[in-house]
Amino acid sequence: MAPTQLADVGAVALVASLAISIYVVIAALYSVRAKKPQFLASAENGIYLIAGLTTLAAAILEYALITNQFRFEYVATHTSSDQPLLYTISALWGGQEGSLLFWAWLLAIFAAIVLIQNRAQNRELIPAVTIFLAFTEGFFLLLVVLLASPFKLLEFTPAEGKGLNPLLQNPGMFIHPITLYLGYVGFTIPFAFALGALATGRLNDMWIRTTRRWALWSWLFLSLGLLFGMRWAYVVLGWGGYWGWDPVENSALIPWLTATAYLHSVMIQEKRGMLKIWNHVLIMLTFILSILGTFLTRSGIVQSVHAFGVGQMGPFFLAFIGLVVLGFLYLLYARLGDLREENELHSLLSREATFLLNNLLFVGAAFATLWGTIFPMISELVTGNQISVAAPFFNQVNGPIFLALILLMGICTLIGWRRASPEKLAHNFGKPFIAALGIVIALFFLSIRDLAGLIAFGIAAFVMGSLLIEYYRGIRARVRQYNENALVALLNLVQKNRRRYGGYVVHIGIVLAVIGITGSTLYQREQQYNFKPGETISFEQYTLTFEGLQMTPAANRDIIAARLKVTENGNPIGTLTPSKDYYRAADQNTTEVAIRSTLREDLYLILAGWTNDGTATIKIVINPLVTWLWIGFGVFICGTIIAALPDPREAIVRAPSRVREAASAA
């Protein structure tokens, strides 16, 4: 099929999807007003049709990318014939137009899955859910059709394309944006059900239980997006770190913080019938902040290596956000009288109180990060001068908040619901406190004397002790009751209550990550040297011998690598080759670092530059304990998967919810 025909089919598919989205909103509304269920069935069929049409459009664009259809402006801008296939495929979401199509396609697929899942349940909520999903789908399709069509054709066919931005030509490009989008788009589903609950008055916790896995999986994918982004920054950008408080990094972190607060807060509603209004607000904030993150990367108002520099979409995003917030507030206000708390907060010494404080800290961190991110834009708007907000601000504000959150993880683990007596608290917290104190004293005598490090490691030890005690108690109880060995008891303990003990695994992963972050942030050492060929230089326990520069041509770039033979305390550990990749078409260099990792530290080498006589400038960075950050994330992911799996206890807890639902309907 000729490029013009492919473009026409793709463009028609998008226009048809937009028209059907409008029809779905109208038909679903009419079905409720006129009490004609056949129109709701028609609207649901419209959702399926949108999923099919957007799939067709995305497939056409991907085909055009893979087959180098340079007549497509989008293809000519983001691919080249010598570009590796992996990056050609990922060019689908590597540019403005393709990423918006990808967003719309994912939402259409998710909407179709939701309708399939709820064919025989939650039928009272489905009309409102369908309306909001179609409305959101229509918004993104409107952007693609009017402002960012990937099916625009050039007047001629270029002989070659420009290729994907060299900074994006990394394996991380294939997975990092996908996971972020799965997280962003996924949170549309629980928010749609929250709106459905408000619109219909079905305000018990069934909408939460129905969307719990949607929220968990979306949170997991957003977490993975942050992880892959951190790893990408660590191995590619070549500055020795993994988190620089970049505006687009922040735009993903902010909804993650509110989503984390939501996942903790809904436990209180399910357990105690409290915080109903707050839970609606949290899921609204998570959705809006996800949209805001998309807006920040596409409005052109932030400067970032991640951001797209097109500014005409800003008013559309702001209008959409405004309409959604106003609609939500209207529904929330109309239902305030029905969102009564079933129980009260009896004591500040209770799990409910620690969960509430946890929520406030998460939201505080989210809005501190948001303020620091948008302040340069506000200052430029008001004063005409852009005042930058750098990493020290975020570290000083969020550092204490995050440490307090970690401490609360340990407290929440061992404190009871309703009210805890001082005697019970002393009994529960005595052992982990002594363990933490012992760790701090040991570190002090090992010459770790700075207060921030001692506090962070002490809190990590306290929380880890609390979690291990909780596991020990559960295992001991099963060993005594069922005469199981310890390993079988552990497996059965997790199997019987996946949500609780999966959450504990998540917390263990976070503690390990805190150890990695603390070590690599507070105790990083670095030095830069100019190496002549054959020269040997020592830095702490490492000795590096520069063997020379080597240039290797590749398909679309030239690789200039520095070979360094490395020993540690006199023992050979191999040859490391930090390099620069020069992309000929873009006339741009990218950095490829060389890393030697152990559980104790990373030796991190950066080729900073070179001269014609073969002298190389090498930056040496030692990052203590950073491997524990990646290990912690691995444990974190395993725990989230465990918590998201079907829990045998859920069938038991659903019965009281149905009773409350029937009572509220009566």
Q: What is d(CA 260, CA 184) in angstroms, rounded to the nearest whole number?
A: 14
Average pLDDT over residues 250-277: 91
4: in domain: yes
Q: What is the residue type of 286?
A: T
In the predicted structure, residue 661 carries a pLDDT above the cut 50: no
Average pLDDT over residues 67-78: 94
pLDDT number for residue 649: 60
Domain that holds residue 135: 1-155+162-169
Q: Can you read off the two tokens belonging to residue 347?
A: 């004591």
| Segment 269-283, tens digit of pLDDT | 888 888 899 999 999
**C-alpha atoms less than 13 angstroms from C-alpha of 545 in its C-beta half-sphere:** 11
Q: Coil, helix or strand for 610?
A: strand
Q: Which residues contact 326 (CB under 8 A, 6 or more apart)?
A: none
Average pLDDT over residues 109-114: 98
What does each C-alpha distance from 600 to 318, 571, 596 come to in angstroms?
A: 47, 16, 11
Q: Edge-to-edge strands of the sheet including 594-597?
A: 525-531, 616-624, 601-610, 594-597
pLDDT number for residue 301: 58
Q: What is d(CA 180, CA 113) in angstroms, rounded to the nearest whole number?
A: 19
| Segment 167-176, tens digit of pLDDT | 888 888 889 9
For residues 449 and 507, membership in a common domain is answered with: yes
111: in domain: yes
pLDDT number for residue 665: 42
Q: Which residues contact 571 (CB under 8 A, 6 or more apart)?
A: none
Number of domains in the chain: 3
For residues 431 and 555, membership in a common domain is answered with: no
Q: What is d(CA 62, CA 55) in angstroms, rounded to the nearest whole number?
A: 10
Q: What is the residue type of 214?
A: W
- CB-CB neighbours of 78 under 10 Å: 28
Identify whether the C-beta of residue 282 lies closer than 8 Å to the C-beta of residue 254: no
pLDDT number for residue 647: 67
537: in domain: yes
Identify whether the C-beta of residue 172 lies closer than 8 Å to the C-beta of residue 93: no
In the predicted structure, residue 654 carries a pLDDT above the cut 70: no
14: in domain: yes
Identify whether the C-beta of residue 24 lies closer than 8 Å to the C-beta of residue 39: no
Q: Which helix (H) or strand (E) holds 575?
A: strand 571-576
In the predicted structure, residue 660 carries a pLDDT above the cut 50: no
For residues 8 and 143, membership in a common domain is answered with: yes
For residues 61 and 112, membership in a common domain is answered with: yes
In the predicted structure, residue 382 carries a pLDDT above the cut 50: yes
Q: How many residues does the chain have?
A: 666
| Segment 531-583, tens digit of pLDDT | 999 999 999 999 999 999 999 888 778 899 999 999 999 999 999 999 999 88
**Global pTM?**
0.91
In the predicted structure, residue 664 carries a pLDDT above the cut 50: no
60: in domain: yes
For residues 438 and 551, membership in a common domain is answered with: no
Q: Which residues contact 177 (CB under 8 A, 6 or more apart)?
A: 90, 93, 94, 99, 225
For residues 578 and 438, membership in a common domain is answered with: no
The pLDDT mean for the chain works out to 89
Q: What is d(CA 629, CA 640) in angstroms, rounded to the nearest whole number?
A: 16
For residues 37 and 100, membership in a common domain is answered with: yes
378: in domain: no
For residues 633 and 515, membership in a common domain is answered with: yes
For residues 509 and 571, membership in a common domain is answered with: no
Q: Can you read off the two tokens belonging to residue 276?
A: 């109903």
pLDDT number for residue 508: 96
Identify whether the C-beta of residue 620 lies closer than 8 Å to the C-beta of residue 601: no
Of the candidates 302, 187, 186, 172, the residue with the CA atom closest to the CA atom of residue 225 = 172
Q: What is the residue type of 394?
A: F
In which residue are the tokens 């939650």 written? 122
In which residue are the tokens 């993903």 written? 252
Rg of the chain (C-alpha set): 27
Q: What is d(CA 253, CA 226) in angstroms, rounded to the nearest whole number?
A: 7
Q: What is d(CA 60, CA 97) in angstroms, rounded to the nearest whole number?
A: 14
Q: Can you read off the two tokens belonging to residue 600?
A: 């104790």
**CATH classification at residue 25:** 1.20.120
95: in domain: yes
Query: What are the phi and psi torsion angles at 529 (to 5°)?
Result: -130, 150
Q: How far is CA 317 from the centre of its chain?
A: 21
Kindly state the percentage of the chain with pLDDT values over 70.
93
pLDDT number for residue 650: 59
Q: How far is CA 610 from the centre of its chain?
A: 37
The string of DSSP codes covering 463-504 is HHHHHHHHHHHHHHHHHHHH---HHHHHHHHHHHTHHHHHHH
| Segment 319-378, tens digit of pLDDT | 999 999 999 999 999 999 888 887 777 677 777 888 889 999 999 999 999 999 888 878
For residues 139 and 58, membership in a common domain is answered with: yes
414: in domain: no
For residues 634 and 619, membership in a common domain is answered with: no
> What is the C-alpha end-to-end distance of the chain, expressed in Å?
60
The string of DSSP codes covering 618-638 is EEEEEEETTHHHHHHHHHHHH
End residue of a domain, out of 169, 194, 224: 169
Query: What are the phi and psi torsion angles at 566 (to 5°)?
Result: -120, 135
End residue of a domain, out of 169, 202, 228: 169
Q: What is d(CA 511, CA 410) in angstroms, rounded to the nearest whole number?
A: 10
For residues 432 and 546, membership in a common domain is answered with: no
Burial class (CB in 10 A: 0-12, 13-18, 19+), 538: exposed
